Amino acid sequence: MLSFTLRRLTLAVPTLLIISLLVFLLLDAAPGDPMSQVPLTIPPEVRAQMREALGLGAPAYVQFGLWLKQMFWIEPQVLIDQIFGTSLAADKLRVLSWQTRAPVMDMVAERLPQTLWVVGSAYLIGISIGLPVGILSAYRQYSALDRTGTFVTLVVYSVPPFVTGPLLIGVFAVHLGWVPSVYDTTHRVTDWQSFSVQLRQMILPIAVLALPTAAQLSRYMRASMLDTLPLDYIRTARAKGMPEHIVVLRHALRNSMIPVVTVIALGAPAMFGGAIITEQIFAINGIGAQLIGALQVGDLPTVQTLTFLFAGLIVLANLIADVLYGWLDPRIRYD
């Protein structure tokens, strides 16, 4: 299992490198001058020096190499420094934002927890709603539950997050006034009271992301269970006198999970895309909001780093899915 995981991990490295190169080339090919916002009174030679200071004079491969070095060599050192109090990365140049002149990763470290909290809990809730609904509607195919479930999931699945967001705000925040419409990221959980406030402000953003996930997963779970339930080994298990819940939840579910795990992993890009929209709707200052802010002012180092981070999170989700395959179906480990 360990060697299988390691093999998958080594495959993820070139993928990430190619993605960061693609993003870099895209940004490099983009027209537009980072100096265009600078006042015209600044003389051309100062302007040239400013370009030089931003590292824009160097050829593309030098810039990309520098970014790689800063991202994969200096940033880990900074991380080690912060954990162990060493000074490996002292005075070394980190990836700097053009907008604030601060290290990009420091800002990301402040914002990433918000995004991961919302996306992570939305994923967990989506899975814990979607799977039972899918299993039940497959087990009782054509029952009232199955019919309503199939229809409701289709409707929920086809409503995009930027429609559900305003809709839920309109109903629950504006009309009923049960929950706040804006997510307050400065809120600190200290006692029971503040915890309930935190819970209430998380409900809407998480619901916006979790509902389509739950809908999609339940549809795939149902389809996959419907494929598994009529198979011979299920009948064998029943014939042996296994209790019904063991047959369904252990024998059938494990084999039905494989396509569902694929869907969970392939849903990661959509999930992070949804998170960008959700952060915009509920004013959460996560990395999605940071990306949009950086794009609007043309802060290319931040855009490059954040896009790479999104890619990294997606590759990580795929990696987890690969490892789960190996656990669900041991035959996959030896391909």
| Number of residues binding to other proteins, judged by CB under 8 A | 61
Binding mask 28-67 for other proteins (x = CB under 8 A): --xxx-----------------------------------
Of 202, 311, 321, 324, which lies in the binding site for other proteins, with binding defined by CB under 8 A?
311
Min dist. Cβ of residue 149 to other proteins (A): 13
- Dihedral sign for Cα 225, 227, 228, 231, please: positive
Q: Which stretch binds other proteins (CB under 8 A): 2-10, 96-104, 119-127, 312-320?
A: 312-320
- Map residue 231 onto helix, strand or coil: coil
Using CB under 8 A as the binding rule, whether residue 223 contacts other proteins is answered as yes
Q: Which stretch binds other proteins (CB under 8 A): 92-100, 138-146, 184-192, 320-328?
A: 138-146
Cβ-based neighbours of 132, under 8 Å, separated by 6 or more: none
Q: Strand locations in the chain, DSSP E?
A: none
Of 80, 295, 328, 332, which lies in the binding site for other proteins, with binding defined by CB under 8 A?
295
Using CB under 8 A as the binding rule, whether residue 307 contacts other proteins is answered as yes
Q: Among residues 89 and 134, whose Cβ is nearest to other proteins?
A: 134
As a whole number of angstroms, the distance between CA 206 and CA 117 comes to 9
As a whole number of angstroms, the distance between CA 322 and CA 8 comes to 7
As a whole number of angstroms, the distance between CA 65 and CA 61 comes to 6
Binding mask 231-250 for other proteins (x = CB under 8 A): ----x---------------
CB 255 within 8 A of CB 170: no
Min dist. Cβ of residue 27 to other proteins (A): 7
CB 38 within 8 A of CB 334: no
Q: Is 193 exposed, middle or buried (0-12, 13-18, 19+ CB in 10 A)?
A: exposed
* Site residues (CB under 8 A) for other proteins, limited to 250-289: 266, 269-270, 272-273, 276-277, 280-281
As a whole number of angstroms, the distance between CA 260 and CA 119 comes to 18
222 secondary structure, DSSP code: H
CB 217 within 8 A of CB 260: yes
Q: Which residues of this chain interact with other proteins, rule CB under 8 A?
A: 15, 18-19, 22-23, 26-27, 30-32, 139-143, 154-155, 157-160, 162-163, 165-167, 169-170, 174-175, 219-220, 222-223, 226, 229-230, 235, 266, 269-270, 272-273, 276-277, 280-281, 291-292, 295-296, 298, 303, 306-307, 310-311, 313-315, 318
